[in-house]
Structure 1
Amino acid sequence: MEVLNQNQMYQADQMTIETLGIPGETLMENAGQAIVSEIAKNWGISTQIVVLAGTGNNGGDGIVIARRLLNLGYQVQLWLIPPEEKVRDAAKVHLELYHRHQYPVFHYGEELYPAIQQADVIVDALLGIGMAGELRPPYDRIVQEVNQSKAKVVSVDIPSGVNAEQATVSQAVRADITYTVQYPKQSAFLYPAASYYGMLQVVDIGIPPQTTDSLEYRKYTWGEKEYQSTKVERSPNSHKGSNGKGLIIGGSSYMIGAPVLAAQACIASGIGLLSCAFPNHILPIAAQKATEATFLPCREQDGNLVQVEIPGSIQVVAIGMGLGRTEQTCQLVKNVLAQDKPTIIDADALFYLNEMWGIVDNRSSVTV
């Protein structure tokens, strides 16, 4: 799944509207409809819902959500935080449509805060991906009241106060669930910002996939679909020796778990034959946890590996998990890189990588 930053999302919106001819009002209606469909799956019509709407597209989504929930018979209060004259563009169109339905709009005032505390569900449509800097009044107090309430909090696209691109957060809504529009935003995967999203769910609003084709620095997350696409179909006549041979080099006296977990993950991924180069004294423990692996005899000193002979049949090597930061580890990493096999450098082995870029640059095999 593709992940966008603020400017990339703006570009996708702009191309959808200006080049492909899908009006912004339609995208806003689609967003509201998609989120209402999800809300209806989780809460019944007796639920007391407060929708908090700011300016811009995020607030416009909130206005659509309030109207559609009211159409379904939900008990909804739409609280508009800015003055109505500050609502513009597609959001203004939907506010006018809301008025034509003769549904009430509650305007910001002290009466908002008791409504927040009495709500069962709060829909946060205050601030969208354009948020930058710290929250200003009255948004800072509103966010504080939302976080102190007992209501379930649903954020639209992004929790208000969270920057779409950055990990750091000063003050923001702590959502129970965030329905993000079309593409997840970068901060949804950067902590501590990611912790404000609650459960993240992407809703499709009809932005065509070709709108991101020309973006630079494209980023993706891997889910089950992407994982399944990498799996190689195996011949019924195959055996473990014909489905990949790997080696994990790791472990020391006080760090046994890391290399064992790496071995278990490697086996679970479907490798045909896994060999492990661990210190001899931890083999009885490791062999019980990774029963499918084979173990190579290795030289060790004071509980640390000092030499590993890599069999010529090995096709890929991973090194570093639990090795410890010793001179022996540094030399082992150099020796592995000199083999010019596809190599994963991890954990303690990364500590020495800065002094080995010349070796890495001269390798023809992949280094991760």
Structure 2
Amino acid sequence: MHELPSYERAVDQARAVCGAWFGPQSLAVEHLPAGFSGTLPLLVRANSSAWVLKSFPPATSPERAAWVHRLVRHVREAGVDAVPALLATPDGSTVVRAYDSIWELASFVPGASTAAPTTAQAQAAARALAHIHRAAATLPGEPPRQSPSPALTERVTRAATLVGDPWPGRTAEHASGHDGEFRDAIAARFAVARDLFAAHDGLRVLRGWSGMRPPVMRLQPVVRDVWCDHVLFASRDPAHVAGVIDFHAAGIDTPAADVARLFGSWLPPSDRRSLPLDACWAGALAAYEEVMPLTDQERGLVAALHAMGVVFGLDNWFRWTLDERREFPDQSRALGRIDRLLGELPVAIDFLGERRGGRV
């Protein structure tokens, strides 16, 4: 994982980087919670305005950052004010290159995220995402195209990889090298996942998906990393979406991938947790389609992408922690994410088994 700088060094860097926007004026800088991506966002106050300073992931090219910002500006200019504004430097650029990174300043959005939205919040978030998609579909130079979904193609490839190296064939030796309670906690969860995978005939299920040929469908610019932490609700009106933040992972894919990512990040009511994702959040899906209708093919893909995301999300966590031995500053949060996926694993495998052969 990209190593986070110390808080003091991060603040010093922030002041230096912000000089490109604000010059030598005095700035108030404070830290914001870091996500799993390894970047440390900072809140910058200048005069009466508040901005979030954040760097793009390491190795991001200037061309890639420029494309993301072109998308963000286009969506805002189309009237979607839930997307934060980008601040330009005096020379008109919205990015600054410094300390081997590419930086941006986006308007600070006061609000709170939730992993367990009310019906009204889920529908409001779905509408906000639909408005983003509708605007993004008109991005100049990126007309909607017909091609296999990169998200689905990647999951089919992952299915084949996991078939070749399934969890039941791995041993506790994968947990060696970690110290203390975190090591033991990860190893215990891996054992649970391995047993659930075997009990629900996961290997047979994944074999069916590993041989599918992803169908051609509509592709367009999408957010890709849109999940519960990145949708902020207004404090005075909890059913109003104040902001949808962080477009750094944006790319070209089916809008269904974003719907699956957002809906799948929410904790559904207990009486709906055994349902496929599209049925679990039927009201939110209907709200999305009031703005951005989906085809039958796209609608059917939502639950399948989420179910595969549960399996491969767990596989990612076990690979990161047990094989690659990455460190996570907030270990309890990492374990909570793994526990959430473990709880969804049986339903995900059973759903994929019912759709075996890749019928979407």
Q: Of the two structures, which has the highest relative contact order with CA contacts closer than 8 Å and spacing of 6 or more?
A: 2
Structure (1/2) with the larger strand percentage: 1
Same fold (TM over 0.5): no
- Relative to the length of structure 2, the TM-score reads 0.24
- Return the index of the structure with the highest Cα Rg: 1
- Relative to the length of structure 1, the TM-score reads 0.23
